[in-house]
Structure 1
Amino acid sequence: MKRRKKIYLYMTSVLLFVYIGLIMLLYFSEYTDSSATIRTFGDAFWYSLVTLTTVGYGDLTPVTPLGHGVGVVFLFLSAGMMMTLFGAVISFITSEGFPFLMLGFQRKKNWYYFADYGAEANTLAGNIYKEDPDAVIIYGEKRDEQMEFPDYPCLFISASPARIVACKKGVGSRCKVFLMKENDIGVNSRAIDLHKLPVEVYARTTNGQDHLSGNINFFHSYDCCARQYWRSRPLLSQENTIVLIGFGNYGRCILERAILTNIISVNQHVAYHIFGYSKEFLAMHSHLQEIFSLGEESEKMDSLIFHDEFWENYHILLEMADRIIICPDDEPEGWNIFWRLHKYYKLSGQIHLHSNRKAPGVSYFGTNEDIYTPNQIMRTSLNQAAITINEIFRKSVSYPTLSWDELDDFHRESKITAADHILMKIRILLKDETITDFNADTVERAYQKYCETRIEESVQDMYRRLDHLRWLRFYTFYNWTYGPARNDAARQHPMLCSYAELTAEQKKERDAAWELLGSISVEL
């Protein structure tokens, strides 16, 4: 690079020397002629500028043979100069120079940098632009000529995040960087040293971790899909049999969220029939048999029944199921299952299909438009209830506690699961299963109902049992076991036992989850 700069400097010096020499030659050849109009060095310089720029005012003209010769040289140089300038302008517009110039005028706006362009990135960028009027969308690659241009303003610049950050010069908010390919942060060259830059990084992953360190955040499209699914289609009280076809990334996350949040009654006995490879899942969650009936349906607790055989063999099960969730990772396979079910089976329950394609008459979920939103990916409000729960807890105790950003993944997930169950608590208290979202007014009404009904000892006991069951499921799912004293390293807790075995004081602790409704309604 230094050698190239030296060459450019040398060539510039030579050209400048030649140009000055020609002007002097023109001046000395003209100023002695009585009929000459070019009589000073300034006149010669002015003539050269007018000629080189092809303006040609005609106010000054050489009259001597040598002057004519110099004029001819300037004429030839003017043609070359104009071609060079034209080429430079075209090159500037079609290269990175023009986009960087445009960025320079928008430093005060909010920059969103996407390492690559794809369907997911396009959807998220479009949703960001709809929500943020000051958004500047930047793709870190050159635009393919065959690529359809997005429906929103954006820039395609083959540049690293470091160059983009340098262009922003610390003005305005931090640039947000998105790595939209799965586990991209480990292989994408543009992810190198991102932790050192003043940016916020959101990387798509499948490893289940929510936060790495510093400015690196992960998001999981499968988990986002599962949370969105159960939030928009919560478990109903009359549903006892749920069939899940496809146990890849989507199926696993949907089942995990069902285990953690689908608690609506102390007497429920929902049977989940899962078709797909399950050995790895069962090996990882080795204590599920303590809170679920594994392998057979039970009238006393929820059941998890994993089937290695083809789902096509279970005609009676499919026909009597209250809900069938079709969610293989391969979308065309899901549509194939959907059409075959409708064609060959007599169905009485709902069928929900994971699909990014929309079709009339089909109950689908998990489209890109639903999943790749600022709310889902950057967790701007999705986890707000969980963050609020943590802040309320911090204010309620006298000893030091950790802020949301300081929590590890396990304790974050604990708060998230508690927050996700708030919707279930509201539906239970208000006895309204049409509620699929909540606001301050809804939470306040639910809390008032809680205060009115908890006066009855049997009702308060039911509330405590319900939340203990939710809490028990969470800790057991993460392989915690009973221990005489809490030991995080050994994953042991003294309350990991049946509700009947809890002390009166321990039972009373379960009121806190319901009491939070009052504080949350104020915070919201």
Structure 2
Amino acid sequence: MEDLKCDAMTEKRKRRLRQTVKFGIIASPFVIGGIGFSLLYGGSVISGFYDALCLYGLQLNVDKEDVNLLINIARWAAPCMTVAVLFTVLSAVFKNMQVRRKVRKKDAAAIHGDSRYIPVVGQKIGKHAVVSESPLSFRAPRQILIFDTDYEMFQYLHVHEKDLFGNPDKILYLCTERIARGSYKEQGLQICNLAENCGRAYWKENLLQKDEKIIVIIGFGNYGQEILNQGLLMNVRDITSDLQYHIFGNSKEYQHLHHKLSRFVNVGNDKENRVEGRDSVIFHEELWYEDEALIQAADRIILAYDEEERNLLILNELHKYFIMNKIYIKVFNEQILKTLWDIEKMQIVPYGTDEQMCEPEMILGESTLIRAKMCHATYIRNAPAEYGGCREKEAGSCQKTLNACISCPHFLQDWNSMNYFTKYSNVAQADHMCVKEQILMEGYTYPKGVKKGDFLKEIYRNLSDEEKNKMREIEHLRWMRYHYLQNWDYAPKRDKQKHFHNLLVDFSDLALEEQMKDDDTYNTMFEIYNEG
């Protein structure tokens, strides 16, 4: 991160230097001509510089025969500068017109900040992107703030508070690596935690395989912590599991903040209190290279330092001194790896590159949120009206598809009133669909001409009762992990304010009706896969 800040400051200095050079070039005929006229007039500075200024308007206030070399240079250069200035002004007017036209569109997204990501984000968003310092850009329905430091972002928010807040139809995305989601006053405020989104994308793109048991995470800053968090949420593949997550890095704060971790995993190497059939998270105090046996035994090593040059240095050391399995590395540019190593032969897989981090889905998360909304829509359609369910659906008068359901005023009112915890519970459910698909598709391939959802539904329908119950329990385990990671706990009576839930119990202790409700997550998945 320090290097990124230095890069950002260097870029700012370059911008200021470019602006100074431009101004100097435009003013040079004025200075040269002013000196020339002053010499011609015998030292009359004011008159000399006035006549030099007139050169910009193609006006020469002396006879051509009297001009000296300096005046001659200035009288040819000044009109060129005038043309350049006029061109710049016209260009600015044209750009303003473009911005005015763009911001009227419902998909327009204005991008503000000084991050190195901005040009790539603008390119990825495409024709809907508004990368401009014009005040008109604040009219766009989506505002994206990407700064190199959170301090700069909050300073910008303070200065432009009236432009960015107060409009219920405007969505503001704050891109950060540190700030966690929360329940904020402004409903249109979306925290885009780049580290969290990177962790979620990593596990979805690199699904855990059945033969992988030992996972080593080296670097436990913002990105390393989210790799672990999202791994714990995503890698629920069976009702018993013995995955090992080995963490190298400062984990003291993390362990205190996630003090319910031991509710669902074994923490540390304490064999006496170990619960069989649970994953383990081992926080190492020693340095990674001090446990040679573990490094050699790891099924996958994930290099996750926030400072990406450290990842490159460790990668070099790993391949220099160890015989390695697959290594995943957080790096800003894949080409660097390809230049230095044969990444396919050496099983080096980059993730979290600038190219990937700037994808609209990484920042706006629109398709993920659509799936999450569909998950919640299923709940609304099945819940009694007295518990927030849809009255029309309960009465049998609504036949909307899930896609249509998430645009319904009743649904939107309910979704917008939800806190971040409930919204992202649905996001976590949507994320896990690729794992459920992986489980169901084991031994199968999709046939041509058949919708994915229909094919998966048929596989699920043909499962034995025991296998279906196992799938339901997998979903219940995933749901419990989400709650425990947010420090919820069991209580006989549900209390959202105190983070208590009456269903945080073993699957076997649930009433049959509650067990069967987990079928809804699979039915939702089938419908989502069919609707695309």
Report the TM-score when normalising by structure 1: 0.72
Matched with 1:316 is 293
The answer to whether residue 294 in structure 2 is matched with residue 357 in structure 1 is no
Matched, 1:186 2:154: yes
User: Whole-Å Cα distance in 1 between the matches of residues 422 and 217 of structure 2?
Assistant: 29
Contact 1:440 1:521 in 2 (8 A): no
Picking from 252, 277, 280, the partner of 1:303 is 280
Contact kept in structure 1, 2:142 and 2:173, CA below 8 Å: no
Q: 1:268 to 1:295 in 2, by over 3 A?
A: same
Tell me which residue corresponds to 1:339.
316
Contact 2:302–2:329 (Cα < 8 Å) also in 1:
yes
Whole-Å separation in 1 of the counterparts to 2:384 and 2:357: 39
Structure 2 residue aligned with 1:123:
120
Superposed displacement of residue 497, structure 1: 1.7
Shift of 1:292: 0.7
Deviation string 1:94-134 (CA, Å, 9 cap, x unpaired) is 35x641343225633355433234321111111112xxxx3
8 Å contact 2:215–2:245 — kept in the other structure?
Answer: yes
1:475 aligns with 2:469: no
Q: What is aligned with 2:403?
A: none
Moved more, 118-127 or 506-515: 506-515
Q: How does 1:98-497 map to 2 (within 5 A)?
A: 98-105=91-98, 107-110=100-103, 111-129=108-126, 134-135=127-128, 137-140=130-133, 159=134, 162-165=135-138, 174=141, 176-183=143-150, 184-188=152-156, 190-193=159-162, 194-196=164-166, 199-205=170-176, 206-209=178-181, 212=184, 213-296=186-269, 299-347=276-324, 349-358=325-334, 359-360=337-338, 361=343, 362-399=348-385, 400=388, 403-431=414-442, 441-453=451-463, 456-497=464-505
User: Alpha-carbon deviations, 1:139-177, whole Å to 9, x = none?
Assistant: 32xxxxxxxxxxxxxxxxxx4xx4444xxxx7xx63644
Structure 2 residue identity aligned to 1:382? T
Aligned 8 A contact 2:121 2:359 in 1: yes
Give the conservation status (yes or no) of the 8 Å contact 1:482–1:497.
yes
Unaligned ranges ≥5, structure 2:
1-56, 64-75, 390-412
**Is the contact made by 1:464 and 1:507 (CA closer than 8 Å) also made in structure 2?**
yes
SS of 2:198's equivalent in the other structure is helix
**Cα offset, 1:395, TM superposition:** 2.2
Distance 2:458 2:350 in 1: 35
CA deviation map 1:437-492 (0-9, x unaligned): xx993333212211111xx2211221122111111111111111111111111211
State whether residues 285 and 478 of structure 1, in contact with CA within 8 Å, keep that contact through their aligned partners in structure 2: yes
How big is the alpha-carbon RMSD for the aligned residues of Structure 1 and Structure 2? Answer: 3.1
Given that 2:115 and 2:146 are in contact with CA atoms closer than 8 Å, whether structure 1 keeps it comes out as: no
Q: Which moved more, 1:364-373 or 1:85-94?
A: 85-94
Residues 377/201 of structure 1: CA separation in 2 closer, same or farther (3 Å cut):
same
User: Quick check: 183-192 or 489-498, which moved more?
Assistant: 183-192
Distance in 2 between residues matched to 1:210 and 1:477, nearest whole Å: 15
Question: 1:384 deviation in Å?
Answer: 2.1
Within 5 A, what are the aligned runs for 1:32-71? none
Partner SS for 2:217: strand
Q: Which amino acid aligns with 1:404?
A: W
TM-score (norm 2): 0.71
Q: Which secondary structure state, in structure 1, belongs to the residue aligned with residue 366 of structure 2?
A: coil
* 3-state SS of 1:411 partner: helix
Retained in 1: the 8 A contact 2:214–2:243? Answer: yes
In structure 2, the residue matched to 1:31 is none
**1:182: Cα distance to partner?**
4.1
Query: Sequence identity of aligned pairs in percent?
Result: 23
For residues 306 and 463 of structure 1, the distance between their equivalents in structure 2, rounded to whole angstroms, comes to 30
Instruction: Answer 1 or 2: which has greater helix percent.
Output: 2
* Residues 1:94 and 1:492: Cα distance change in structure 2 (over 3 Å): same
- Contact map agreement 1:202 1:216 (CA 8 A) in 2: yes
Distance 1:432 1:341, change over 3 A: farther
Alpha-carbon offset, residue 277 of structure 1: 0.8
Is there any run of 5+ residues in structure 1 with no aligned partner, and where?
Answer: 1-52, 55-71, 73-81, 141-158
Question: Which of structures 1 and 2 has the bigger CA Rg?
Answer: 1
Aligned partner of residue 239 in structure 2, secondary structure: coil
In 1, Cα distance between equivalents of 2:477 and 2:207: 18
